[in-house]
Amino acid sequence: MKVLVLNCGSSSIKSQILETATDAVLSKVTIERIGAPDSILTAFDEQGRRTRHTLVVKNFEDGLDAALTAHAGHRVVHGGEQFTSAARMTPEVVHAIEDLISLAPLHNPHNMRGFYAAAKLMPHAQHVAVFDTSFHHTLPPKAFLYGLPYAYYTRDKIRRYGFHGTSHRYVSQRVGPASKVITCHLGNGASVCAVDQGRSVDTSMGFTPLEGLLMGTRSGDLDPSVVLALLAEDGASAHGVEELLNKQSGLLGLSGLSQDMRTLLTQRESGSGRAAMAIEVFTYRIRKYIGAYWAVLNGADAIVFTGGIGENAAAVRAEACAGLETFGIEIDPEANALTIGIEGTIHRGRVPIWVVPANEELLIARDTEQCLNSL
Note whether 127 and 183 are same-domain residues: no
Query: Is 138 a member of any domain?
Result: no
Q: What share of the chain is helix, strand, coil (3-state, %, to 5)?
A: 40, 20, 40
- pLDDT given for residue 304 in this prediction: 98
Can you point out the beta strands (E) in the chain? 2-8, 12-19, 24-32, 39-44, 50-55, 71-76, 87-88, 126-131, 180-186, 190-196, 199-203, 302-306, 344-345, 353-355
pLDDT in tens, the chain (375 residues): 888 888 887 778 888 888 888 888 887 888 888 888 888 878 776 667 676 778 777 887 776 664 445 578 899 999 999 999 999 999 999 999 999 887 777 788 888 988 998 888 777 678 999 999 999 999 999 999 999 999 999 999 999 999 999 999 999 999 977 799 999 999 999 999 999 999 999 999 999 999 999 999 999 999 999 999 999 998 899 999 999 999 999 999 999 999 999 999 999 999 999 999 999 999 999 999 999 999 999 999 999 999 999 999 999 999 999 999 999 999 999 999 999 999 999 999 999 999 999 888 889 988 988 998 887
Give how many domains the chain has, as a whole number.
2
132 is catalytic: yes
Domain assignment of residue 230, yes or no: yes
Structural domain for 258, as ranges: 178-360
Which amino acid would we find at residue 335? A
Asked if the structure places residue 160 within a domain, the reply is no
CATH number of the domain to which 12 belongs: 3.30.420.40
Q: Is residue 184 part of a domain?
A: yes
CA–CA distance, 29 with 45 (Å, rounded to integer): 9
Catalytic one of 132, 196, 202, 367 = 132
Q: Could you tell me if 97 and 189 lie in one domain?
A: no
Q: Tell me how far apart the alpha carbons of residues 198 and 218 are, in angstroms, rounded to a whole number.
A: 28
The pTM assigned to this predicted structure is 0.84
Give yes or no: residues 220 and 287 share one domain: yes
Sheet holding 353-355, edge to edge: 199-203, 190-196, 180-186, 302-306, 353-355, 344-345
pLDDT tens string 140-190:
999 999 999 999 999 999 999 999 999 999 999 999 777 999 999 999 999
Do 229 and 124 belong to one domain?
A: no
Question: Is the residue at 304 inside a domain?
Answer: yes
